[in-house]
Amino acid sequence: MNVPYQIGAPGFQDPVAQSQATFRHLMDAIAHPALPRAFTSRTASCGPLSANATAVLLTLVDQDTPLWLDQALASSDEVRNFVAFHCGAPLVTDPSRAAFAFFADAQAMSPLTRFALGEPDYPDRSTTIVAQVDCFSSEGPGFSGPGVSGTRRFGFIPAPADFSSQWALNSAGFPLGLDIFLIGSTELAALPRSLRLTEV
């Protein structure tokens, strides 16, 4: 369903059940990295945010999670009002201070080094990125690591032209680094920092 958001309208029709279901989908994607998993939310869309991305926002973000938005989202009054009304998350302009970063277009997801990579004693203090994509592909670079048997080819469209080199740098710092959720119209996928590029 793709219903425009109206200020004061509920984000989730059934907050507990829908947030739990969305969280399970996110954890399933982490458990099966670089593999698109079926996901369709009944949540209304919000400006440039699709219904699926809006559901992820509602599930992950609250008043204790500094949130960074890309230009398309930050310039949307609809999105900013939604965040203020439903999440209460502090919006930050410095990406290195963000617990979560949302991109309306994954192609703008560059460079990853702008964001918090965590600290040696606290690797969990890194930014989790959520980016919208048009579709996924099995013809991308090869990934290996926990949750992958052998090598798995995975790509997404649109993607930054230099994403492979960015990801190689990100995973080289493990256990520091970023985790990424990619959100499509009927699927989502996860790239945890533990994944390594094996083929480009």
The answer to whether residue 104 sits within a structural domain is: yes
Is the per-residue pLDDT at 101 higher than 90?
Answer: yes
Name the pLDDT band for 1 (thresholds 50, 70, 90). very low
Picking from 126, 74, 124, the residue whose alpha carbon sits closest to that of residue 102 is 74
Domain assignment present for 6: no
Q: Give Cα 97 distance to the centre of its chain.
A: 16
Q: How confident is the model at residue 176, as a pLDDT?
A: 96
Q: Which domain holds residue 162?
A: 15-199
Q: Would the pTM count as exceeding 0.75?
A: yes
Q: Is residue 3 part of a domain?
A: no
Three-state SS string over 148-164 comes to CCCCEEEEEECCCCCHH
Q: What is the CATH number of the domain that holds 125?
A: 3.40.50.11310
Is 10 within the bounds of a domain? Answer: no
Residue 1 included in any domain: no
Radius of gyration from C-alpha coordinates of the chain: 16
Q: Which residues pair with 157 in a beta bridge?
A: 135
Question: What is the reported pLDDT for 7?
Answer: 57
| Average pLDDT rounded to a whole number, residues 171-185 | 96
The verdict on residue 5 lying in a domain is: no
Q: What letter would DSSP give residue 161?
A: T
pLDDT at res. 2: 45
The structural domain count of the chain equals: 1
**Quick one: pLDDT band at residue 8, thresholds 50, 70, 90?**
low
User: Mean pLDDT throughout 58-77?
Assistant: 96
Question: 22 or 15: which carries more pLDDT confidence?
Answer: 22
Distance in angstroms (rounded) separating the CA atoms of residues 31 and 123: 19
